Structure 1
Amino acid sequence: MDRLELAAFLRSRRERITPADVGLPAGPRRRTPGLRREEAAQLAYISTEYYTRLEQARGPRPSREVLAGLARALRLSDAERNHLHHLAGAPPGPSAGPSREVRQSIIDLLHRLPQAAAIVMSATYEVIAWNDLAAALMEDFSALSRRDRNLVRRVFLGPHPEGRPLYGQSDTDAFARTSAQHLRATAARYPDDPEVGGLVDELLAGSEEFARLWASHNVTAEPTLYKTLQHPLVGPVTVNCDVLDIADRDQRVVIYTADPGSPSEEALRLLSVIGTQRMDVPG
């Protein structure tokens, strides 16, 4: 365990996080722009005294549970998480759960596709990044809780406004089948992750359809090449679906494009102007 390097690393990671990043008020008289020690400790579920000793190079070797809490609280990347483990003298094992951190280059890619709607999904079908056109075509993901951004939960458990399929998709049954098969494979890769297990349990308890698909033990899904979404403002939009795997993060980029010169291409252009505003609701 390299106590001095560990202390410096923790301090540098803490100071780069603003209170707003983790939903805390800035409050008066902050000497640094980052989190206070007691705030970092609270987020990591350890005592302030213990965290302070770590930053002062006086603490004992942290357990793997403490290291996991620190990585979560300080919003470490996978590389930083591994570095933290090595500094603490506890070489990292495999990641316990699916990664939700999207590389900046992937986020930049989404925004360089102005004529395509694009999202990034985690291994559990949570939408973790999107561009403006995806928000206009599907929904404003920024207005949703993390729970409601999970598409496998939404397709099986709703809500489904006015009884319509999720986003009015023409392939709802195929999407449900594919997502259940992918989630079974995800559960096998992350057997100890409580979020994955909790999601599966919730779906099994709340959806007979999911329970039936889960019981089939299928893990191979046919790719979706195109689908039609019924948009409340511009009507049906038929899009091609291309999926790029990000193997090192266990994530997928889904890109929706319309055929050149088609009515759907015109619909996407209109949506790029309209954005997420609701023109059907009086101002």
Structure 2
Amino acid sequence: MTTMAQESPAVPATRGAAIRRHELAAFLRSRRERITPEQVGLPRGSRRRTPGLRREEVAHLSAVGVTWYTWLEQARDIQVSVQVLDALARTLMLDPSERVHLFQLAAATDPTPAASCPSLTPALREMLDRLEPVPACVQNSRYDILVYNRTYARLFGDLDAIPPEDRNCVFLVHTHPDWQAAIVHLDEVMRVMAARLRASMAGHLGEPAWKMLLKRLKSASPEFRENWDRYEVVGMRSRTKEFLNPYVGHLTVEHTDLWLGPQHGPRMLTYTPKNEETRERLEKLLEIARGDD
């Protein structure tokens, strides 16, 4: 009688979850200990013995309870929301790879910005490059900037220097000094952007990424809170825009949206010059961008 070798049992799901929790706890401790108080605007004090930040400091900066965060570093079996993971990633100054690792250890999906988009093919990226010196990018319905060409990167300053998770047009218009300085008629643009976001959000109510963006905007910008409370709604439309570029000066362009899928999905945004002076200045901006590469 032939007997078949018995296969080794798979690791139970509960054991796998416990392993992830311990890895998450160790990862959080290591990231906490590498950040100095000065990096986050806290005084060091003369009696500090803890390398890096204390647990209570991370909890305070992330707006979570000290006990809860302590349990997280103790690998306790607690639920962690994507909003809390996002706050911890910012407090601990995680780079993109570390942020991905954090969400993987927590068995969560990072909702901001979209990590992948089926429309972002190599051909589309080449198209963005070939549109230069016309500034162009691809955004999703939440106004996350997914990919862009060199002139768009320098249109409002230096987009490459902004962390990927902060590359959201509504957020930057309301919070980033370089973007605000570059936009002519800023108050009007803020009001329109809030109205557009409300229109887009109607199909995504309750989704974590949208709730997180709305919470950040309300927390960071009094102007956004005021405009949001107007309950205005504005749809997409082409329009003339004016910018004060820090490198080449005044630009007058035509804003056009080219849809890459369903109307509420990703779209290519272009700013074509409205006059010859703007065209020449965009060509000069491209030369500057090439020199920065």
Q: One fold, TM greater than 0.5?
A: yes
Mapped pair 1:253 → 2:271 = no
SS at match of 2:138: strand
d(CA) in 1 for partners of 2:113 and 2:156? 24
| CA gap 1:98/1:247 in 2 versus in 1, 3 angstroms | farther
* Alpha-carbon contact 2:259-2:268 (below 8 Å) kept: yes
**Count of aligned pairs between the two proteins:** 193
Deviation at 1:129, TM superposition (A): 0.7
Mapped pair 1:44 → 2:104 = yes
d(CA) in 1 for partners of 2:156 and 2:258? 19
* Alpha-carbon contact 1:140-1:276 (below 8 Å) kept: no
d(CA) in 1 for partners of 2:236 and 2:144? 20
Mapped pair 1:240 → 2:254 = yes
Mapped pair 1:143 → 2:158 = no
Deviation at 1:113, TM superposition (A): 0.7
* Alpha-carbon contact 1:168-1:231 (below 8 Å) kept: yes
d(CA) in 2 for partners of 1:178 and 1:122? 17
Q: Percent identity?
A: 24
- The farther-off stretch of 226-235 and 247-256 is 247-256
Counterpart of 1:160, as a letter, is: P
SS at match of 1:256: strand
Mapped pair 1:159 → 2:176 = yes
Deviation beyond 4 Å, 4+ runs, structure 1: 96-100
2:131 is matched with: 113
- TM normalised by structure 2 equals 0.56
In our comparison, the structure showing a higher alpha carbon Rg is: 2
SS at match of 2:270: strand
Cα deviations by residue, 1:117-142 (Å, 9 ceiling, x for unpaired): 10112222221110112113233323
The Cα RMSD (Å) is 3.1
- The farther-off stretch of 203-212 and 113-122 is 203-212
d(CA) in 2 for partners of 1:224 and 1:170? 17
d(CA) in 2 for partners of 1:206 and 1:216? 18
1:214 to 228, 244, 247: 228
SS at match of 1:123: coil
2:97 is matched with: 23
Cα deviations by residue, 1:187-215 (Å, 9 ceiling, x for unpaired): 32222322211221222233332222222
- TM normalised by structure 1 equals 0.58
Gaps of 5+ in 2: 1-95
d(CA) in 1 for partners of 2:236 and 2:196? 11
| CA gap 1:259/1:209 in 2 versus in 1, 3 angstroms | closer
